[in-house]
Structure 1
Amino acid sequence: MIQFNVSLLFTIINLIVFYLLLKKFLFKPVMGIMEKREKMIADGLKNASDSQEEAARLKAEYEKALEGAKAESIQIVEKAKKTAAGESERILQEANTEAVGILKDARKTIENERKQTMNDLQSEIAGLAMQAARKIVDDTKGNQDIYDQFLKGAGDAHVNEEVK
């Protein structure tokens, strides 16, 4: 059996005092440090979670802005294409109108030059005919009436051409 003597009593008292000292100077500070550390870790996890949520929100905003920018750029490109097509069509119409005007002017010029050439040729033919008639008349002085009729016919033909 166990003997109860004074040394056992001192050993028990020493253990109780040692426990109280350990509790006062070791366990409480260590427990306080552990609680602070636990709180610090919980706060860190909460901050990380908040930061992650903020990053996700910012990412969603960025993606939304990026989609808007893409849609706007597509819209700008389409508008530029339509404007370019309209401008191209307008330039082609102007060129066609100008070409038609140039062709009309060229045709008028050609027609005027043709008429002028015809008039010149008729005048020259009339002159040649008059010279030929003069030679004939000079040769045959008696054909004065033929000469007058010819001149009258040539003059009428010349006047009719100018009227046209």
Structure 2
Amino acid sequence: MLKLGWDLVFTIINLIVLYLLLKKFLIGPVTGIMEKRKALIASSLEDAAAQKNQAQEMKQQYEQSLAASRLESDEIVARARIDARAEYEQILKDAGVQAGQIIENARKSVEAEREQALREMKAQIASLAMDAAEKVTAGKAGAELDQALFDQFITETGDGK
């Protein structure tokens, strides 16, 4: 059987003292270190979650900025097209005006040349009429009659215009 002696009592006391010493110097500090480690890990996880949220917000801001940039570039392109169309139409209008001016100038030039040709033809006809009248009168009337016939011819041909 079991003997209860002083050896057993000392062994139990030694075990209790050993347990208290281990609890004081080993288990307590290890538990404290583990708690600190647990708190550090929890803090790191919170920081990681905060950084993830911040990254999501930055991504949303980037996407919004990108969408705004696309809209702005579309507006710039649309304005450029409108400006180009207006300039194109203005160039066409100016070209039409210039063409009209050229045509009008050509008409005026043709009309002036026509008037000049008519005057020259009248002068030639008057000269021919004078020559014919001189031959008909055979030099009887003189310079005054010639001038009167010429004036009469000019007024008649001028009115017939």
Taking every aligned residue pair, what percent have the same amino acid on both sides? Answer: 42
User: Unmatched 5+ residue regions in structure 1?
Assistant: none
Q: Is the 8 A contact 2:126 2:153 kept in 1?
A: no
Number of residue pairs matched?
156
Partners of 2:72 and 2:104 in 1: CA distance: 48
Structure 1's 53 and 160: CA in aligned 2 closer, same or farther, altered over 3 A? farther
- Letter paired with 1:29: P
How far did residue 158 of structure 1 move?
3.3
How far did residue 4 of structure 1 move?
2.1
- Letter paired with 2:89: E
Q: Is the 8 A contact 1:122 1:158 kept in 2?
A: yes
Residue 73 (1) aligns with residue 56 (2): no
How far did residue 92 of structure 1 move?
1.3
Partners of 2:60 and 2:26 in 1: CA distance: 51
Alignment partner, residue 11 of structure 2: 11
How far did residue 115 of structure 1 move?
1.4
Alignment partner, residue 59 of structure 2: 59
Alignment partner, residue 158 of structure 1: 154
User: If the length of structure 1 is used for normalisation, what is the TM-score?
Assistant: 0.81
- What SS class does the counterpart of residue 3 from structure 2 fall into? coil
Structure 1's 75 and 160: CA in aligned 2 closer, same or farther, altered over 3 A? farther
Give CA-to-partner distance per residue, 1:102-137, whole Å, 9 cap, x none.
211210111111110121133124324534554x45
Q: Is the 8 A contact 2:122 2:154 kept in 1?
A: yes
Alignment partner, residue 118 of structure 1: 118
Partners of 1:161 and 1:61 in 2: CA distance: 91
Partners of 1:160 and 1:26 in 2: CA distance: 145
User: Unmatched 5+ residue regions in structure 2?
Assistant: none
Q: Is the 8 A contact 1:119 1:161 kept in 2?
A: no
